[in-house]
Amino acid sequence: MKNLNKYIDHTLLKPQAQQKDIEALCKEAKNHDFFAVCVNPHWVKLASSLLEGSDVAVCTVVGFPLGATLSTVKAFETRMCVDNGATEIDMVINIGAAKNGDWDLVQDDIATVVEAASGRLVKVILETCLLSPEEIKKASQAAMKAKAQYVKTSTGFSHEGATLEAVKIMKETVGDHLSVKASGGIRNYEDAIKMIEAGADRLGTSSGIAIVSSQ
């Protein structure tokens, strides 16, 4: 598949990641011309400086990985990340509110981050393994109403990552209005292609090099 590298957010979100690991991640992203790196907020400033002048975007995570922080905290975190050079924000929804059927709260929480991002691209992590198919649909609709640009499957920190079923539900719900990011457990070329065929526009993975090298 041509340009598979441009589907990949080269990801390192392990809490034990050190500066040398982030430096290696950014070097790999430039060498393979991946779309973005995805790092924790602490590393945004470093990643931004290392990738300055390249085509690689700097993505970070907000309200990660539980999504249970207050909307005001998510907004503050978003603004700090933008100030430090983040060009994309992957935020986790309030999963408890979603399970409780409080979709207004879910939508408002997303909208708060979208506003704080000041035009930067916002991807909304649904943590699909914790939601029913109907909840995945409603969460995707909330992201659309809140004017995010993407819905994303997973944090990679729960009991399951991206599934083809979840990606298909998300794509069927958002259509051409939003894009879809599949993330979590995508480790080889075959998995990557299946996710793209199911509707994914971006892939979050720490196995990007292995994926593109096996084409």
pLDDT of residue 2: 82
pLDDT of residue 131: 98
pLDDT of residue 175: 98
Tell me, yes or no, if 181 is annotated catalytic: yes
What does the alpha-carbon distance between residue 110 and residue 104 come to, in Å, rounded to a whole number?
10
Tell me, yes or no, if 74 is annotated catalytic: no
Q: What is the pTM of this model?
A: 0.97
Among candidate residues 74, 123, 152, 171, the one labeled active-site is 152
pLDDT of residue 36: 98
Tell me, yes or no, if 123 is annotated catalytic: no
pLDDT of residue 68: 98
What does the alpha-carbon distance between residue 182 and residue 189 come to, in Å, rounded to a whole number?
14
Segments in the chain below pLDDT 70: none
DSSP result, 202-213: EEEES-HHHHHH
**Domains of the chain: total:** 1
CATH classification at residue 65: 3.20.20.70
Domain span including residue 136: 4-213
pLDDT of residue 129: 98
What are the C-alpha distances in Å from 196 to residues 111, 148, 165? 27, 20, 12
